[in-house]
């Protein structure tokens, strides 16, 4: 069986490695992939947004199955095109991926179907936005409507900051056409949880929960990045909350999408905030999260390819999807200065002990040597019985990755550990009070 994975970062690296573990021994191609995947897949030099190129490669190489991982080609309709060409895919159609591609659309869908989310307004012009922001309670959140690499969200503390944000998004068009519209929304507080779920539009199977670390520096300081690390499971996500999310958010979202003829097949990502009024949706993504995939997929015990095909063929209800009850921690090693200014092109080496647990996100190869390429370079993931051991393991693996100006946060998982400790204290206290 020939499988083509579309995308080229750390997320695609873990997907490729999981598919490579399949007992069905698929032959794997990845477009464009990166040099860190060359040991398990054939790299195909076609950009993920070259839809023509990918469809034509899939046809001429008799690809049996395709996994489209990044948001842009999903929103642009790559799955639609491949399926028209007779290639079954894992991933939503453009119509279904709209739930990520337009935040205004996602909010309207949630409002119409009473799915809990922050209160919001949608502004179509800077004038309209500013008049809404004059009377807004602060802090307030301003979001570019379209895709913006996770960077189109600004929390503003007063009207002056709001004006600046509107200028940046809607007038200077920092995120291009993504800023033609903005969502202005209520600021929510509480721990954040990422829940990735397999769905075929009939059943929804949540994967183990996780926690991203978006800020560049320790203690959640500094600019937002694509993600500096992740842990799973997320200790804030109790079985009671999971049950509520299933009833109030996951099932209603699948039903809402079906009701508007946008049946979703693939991985639907729920970005949730656990507020004092209950769990609320912060965002939907139409794909695996990055770096969440690097902690969630290593815990998947069932063959990923089998699960993906069950999704495509709409028979997810017929299979068991099992996760390990261990913990995972992924630490991202970035180029010093990311996400602002940083240098690429530094020689990159990974010790043999770390190699099996390292998901290269940005590297190129020249004359047999790997060089860093991009801000996030490598994610290392450790799996262990406890979160503490997983964290220690991930930082040990990080020592086995070498490049000049390597930067990592030092506190991935620290907030989750504090929560586990406080849960243990509460349990102990409850027991001693009898």
- Nearest alpha-carbon partner for 295 in 331, 332, 333, 328: 328
Of residues 74-93, which lie at the interface with ligand AMP (CB under 6 A)? none
With CB under 6 A as the contact rule, the residue among 12, 200, 283, 326 that binds ligand AMP is 283
Q: Cα–Cα distance between 285 and 191 in angstroms, integer? A: 18
How, if at all, do strands 27-32 and 2-7 pair?
A: parallel
Shortest Å, Cβ 332 to ligand AMP: 16
Q: Rounded to whole angstroms, what are the CA distances from 35 to 17, 64, 67?
A: 14, 24, 19
Of residues 213-232, which lie at the interface with ligand GLY (CB under 6 A)? 227
With CB under 6 A as the contact rule, the residue among 36, 146, 201, 271 that binds ligand AMP is 271
Draw the binding track, 177-216, toward ligand GLY (x: CB under 6 A; -: no contact). Answer: -----------------------------------x----
Map residue 34 onto helix, strand or coil: coil
Stretch that binds ligand AMP, among 147-155, 160-168, 173-181, 423-431 (CB under 6 A): 147-155
Q: Which ranges of 152-292 does DSSP label H, i.e. alpha helix?
A: 159-166, 239-245, 251-259
Q: Does residue 185 interact with ligand AMP by CB under 6 A?
A: yes
Q: Does residue 70 interact with ligand GLY by CB under 6 A?
A: no
Q: Does residue 289 interact with ligand GLY by CB under 6 A?
A: yes
Q: Does residue 339 interact with ligand AMP by CB under 6 A?
A: no
Stretch that binds ligand GLY, among 47-55, 58-66, 285-293, 333-341 (CB under 6 A): 285-293
Q: Does residue 290 interact with ligand GLY by CB under 6 A?
A: yes
Contact 351, 400 (CB under 8 A): yes
Residue 409: name its binding partner from ligand AMP, ligand GLY, none (Cβ under 5 to 8 Å by kind).
none
Shortest Å, Cβ 110 to ligand GLY: 18
Shortest Å, Cβ 289 to ligand GLY: 3
Contact 301, 324 (CB under 8 A): yes
Q: Cα–Cα distance between 338 and 340 in angstroms, integer? A: 5
Stretch that binds ligand GLY, among 43-51, 60-68, 289-297, 415-423 (CB under 6 A): 289-297
- Give the tokens for residue 374: 């991009």
Stretch that binds ligand GLY, among 231-239, 288-296, 347-355, 356-364 (CB under 6 A): 288-296
Map residue 299 onto helix, strand or coil: helix
Q: Rounded to whole angstroms, what are the CA distances from 261 to 93, 104, 254, 257, 314?
A: 11, 18, 11, 6, 16
Draw the binding track, 136-165, toward ligand GLY (x: CB under 6 A; -: no contact). Answer: --------------x---------------
Q: Cα–Cα distance between 185 and 129 in angstroms, integer? A: 11
- Give the tokens for residue 293: 């995939």
| Long-range CB contact pairs, 19-23, < 8 A, 24+ | 19/67, 19/304, 19/305, 21/303, 21/304, 22/303, 22/304, 22/305, 22/306, 23/303
The site for ligand GLY (CB under 6 A) is made up of 150, 212, 227, 285, 289-290, 292
Q: Which residues bind ligand AMP (CB under 6 A)?
A: 118, 141, 143, 150, 153, 155, 185-188, 192, 214, 271, 282-283
């Amino acid at each position: 069986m020939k499988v083509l994975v579309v995308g080229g970062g750390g997320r695609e690296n873990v997907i490729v490695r999981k598919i490579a573990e399949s007992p069905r021994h698929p032959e794997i191609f990845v477009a464009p992939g990166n040099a860190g995947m060359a040991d398990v897949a054939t790299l195909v030099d076609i950009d993920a947004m070259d839809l023509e190129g990918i469809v034509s490669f899939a046809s001429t190489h008799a690809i049996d199955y395709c996994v489209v991982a990044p948001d842009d080609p999903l929103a642009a309709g790559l799955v639609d095109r491949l399926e028209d060409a007779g290639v079954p895919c894992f991933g939503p159609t453009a119509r279904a991926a709209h739930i990520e591609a337009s935040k205004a659309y996602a909010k309207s869908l949630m409002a119409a179907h009473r799915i809990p989310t922050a209160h919001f307004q949608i502004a179509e012009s800077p004038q309209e936005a500013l008049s809404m922001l004059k009377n807004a309670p602060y802090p307030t959140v301003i979001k570019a409507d379209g895709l913006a690499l996770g960077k189109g969200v600004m929390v503003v503390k007063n009207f002056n900051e709001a004006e600046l944000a509107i200028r940046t998004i809607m007038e200077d068009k920092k995120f291009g056409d993504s800023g033609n519209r903005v969502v202005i929304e209520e600021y929510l507080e509480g721990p954040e949880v990422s829940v990735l779920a397999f769905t075929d539009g009939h059943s929804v199977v949540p994967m183990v929960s996780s926690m991203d670390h978006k800020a560049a520096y320790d203690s959640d300081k500094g600019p937002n990045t694509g993600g500096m690390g992740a842990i799973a499971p997320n200790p804030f996500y109790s079985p009671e909350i999971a049950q509520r999310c299933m009833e109030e958010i996951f099932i209603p979202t699948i039903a809402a999408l079906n009701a508007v003829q946008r049946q979703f097949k693939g991985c639907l990502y729920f970005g949730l905030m656990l507020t004092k009024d209950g769990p609320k949706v912060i965002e939907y993504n139409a794909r695996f999260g990055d770096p969440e995939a690097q902690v969630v997929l290593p815990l998947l015990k069932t063959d990923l390819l089998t699960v993906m095909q069950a999704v495509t063929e709409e028979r997810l209800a017929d299979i068991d999807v099992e996760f390990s009850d261990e913990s995972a921690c992924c630490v991202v090693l970035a180029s010093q200065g990311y996400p602002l200014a940083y240098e690429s092109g530094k020689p990159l080496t990974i010790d043999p002990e770390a190699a099996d647990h390292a998901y290269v996100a940005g590297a190129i190869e020249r004359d047999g040597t790997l060089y860093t390429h991009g801000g996030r370079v490598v994610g290392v993931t450790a799996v262990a019985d406890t979160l503490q051991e997983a964290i220690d393991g991930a930082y040990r693996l990080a020592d086995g990755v070498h490049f000049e100006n390597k930067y990592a946060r030092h506190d991935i998982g620290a907030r989750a550990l504090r929560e586990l400790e406080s849960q243990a204290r509460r349990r102990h206290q409850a027991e001693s009070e009898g």
